[in-house]
Amino acid sequence: MVGAALTFAALVLGVAVADPTAALEPRVVSLDYCADQYVLGLADPDHVLAVSDHADDRHSYLRAQAQGVPQIRDDAEDVLALSPDLIVRGYDAGGRAGAYFDRLGLETFELGFASDFDDVEAMIRRTAAALGRPETGEVRISRMRTQLARAADGPRLTALYMTPSGLTTGAGTLMDAFMAAAGFDNIMAQQGKSGWVSLPLEQLHAQQPDIILAAFFDGETAPIDSWSASRHSVFRRMMETTPVIYLDAAALSCGAWFIADEALRAREAANALFHSVDGAMP
């Protein structure tokens, strides 16, 4: 009651009344493409001073939202010139500039690293809180959970994640969690592999998956050179004889809420593929 009276008096006297939530939302810059996704997706646009010079690159999922936002290099002098309240960096990003910011007493926030969707939820909450927008974080988490629940609708299929360089994933990575959430049994995890590994092409010749999940085959984010695994005969034969779903590399380049949208898209694509083969799901 007293607060309301003071606010009324201030209005009568022509005194500006500040939005009490405004002071909780820092003016922010982001220094790499993953930090860009979190800042563009969680912060109030009016509080974003600048994003990195990779924010509108092809591998940036929220590149459309980066249009018109000032860009900045990962350079201490450029950042200092903007006098941000908060500097957001990706996992192990920033290098010497990050240490320099710390020495100057500037507040920095590091996203961290996600190996499953619980980690992603925690990272969303931490970042949203740092940006003074916890409610926005909860909205993102709610949508992510909804999309993951929808992605679970379908038969289990064995799957192999493939990239042009021959990199794939075993158990314990966010990509492995992505596959599990979308109803795919990771064939590399079944073989006892963990983390990021090179494709054991000769082993796969004897044990082929139901489906291949392929990413970074656009020729820009991962150019193919003369020693690439994609030139191997086993690799090429698998791509020709096994159903392939091409994933949006931008959705996978940063562990954020939108990876759940891609999981749902992959599940729907798999359902459509297997319906089209024999008119019924296996």
- Is residue 46 in a domain? yes
The whole model's pTM is what? 0.84
User: What is the rounded average pLDDT of the residues 23-42?
Assistant: 94
Q: Are residues 166 and 256 in the same domain?
A: yes
Q: In whole angstroms, how far apart are CA 143 and each of 130, 137, 152, 163, 270?
A: 20, 10, 15, 28, 22
Note whether residue 8 is domain-resident.
no
Supply the pLDDT for residue 250: 95
189 and 85 share a domain?
no
Return the axis-axis angle of helices 134-151 and 117-130, rounded to nearest 10°.
160
Question: 101 and 186: one domain?
Answer: no
* Average pLDDT of the chain, as a whole number: 85
Domain housing 166? 154-278
**214-272: pLDDT as tens digits:** 998 765 544 444 445 556 677 778 888 899 999 999 999 999 999 999 999 999 999 99
**pLDDT the model gives residue 230:** 59
**Residue 132, domain member (yes or no):** no
The total number of structural domains in the chain stands at 2
pLDDT at 183 over 80: yes
107 lies in the same domain as 163: no
Residues 162 and 257 in one domain: yes
Domain check: are 105 and 206 in the same one?
no
**Of residues 233 and 192, which shows the higher confidence score?**
192
Residues 171, 107, single domain; the answer is no
Q: Please report the sign of the dihedral spanned by the C-alpha atoms of residue 220, residue 226, residue 229, residue 233.
A: positive
Domain assignment present for residue 75? The answer is yes
Tell me whether residue 237 is in a domain.
Answer: yes
Task: Report the pLDDT value the prediction gives residue 14, as an integer from 0 to 100.
Answer: 44
Q: ∠143-145-146 over CA atoms, to 5°?
A: 65
CATH number of the CATH domain containing 48: 3.40.50.1980
Residue 135 placed within a domain: no
Residue that finishes a domain, picked among 83, 112, 141: 112
Last residue of a domain, one of 112, 137, 162: 112
Residues 273 and 172 in one domain: yes
Domain check: are 274 and 159 in the same one?
Answer: yes
Helix axes 134-151, 259-278, angle to 10 degrees: 10
Question: Are residues 54 and 161 both part of a single domain?
Answer: no
**Same domain, yes or no: 55 and 164:** no
Residue 172 domain-assigned? yes
Residues 160, 108 share a domain:
no
Domain boundary at 87, 112, 137, which?
112
Question: For the residues 61-82, what does the mean pLDDT come to?
Answer: 92
Task: Let me know if residue 64 belongs to a domain.
Answer: yes
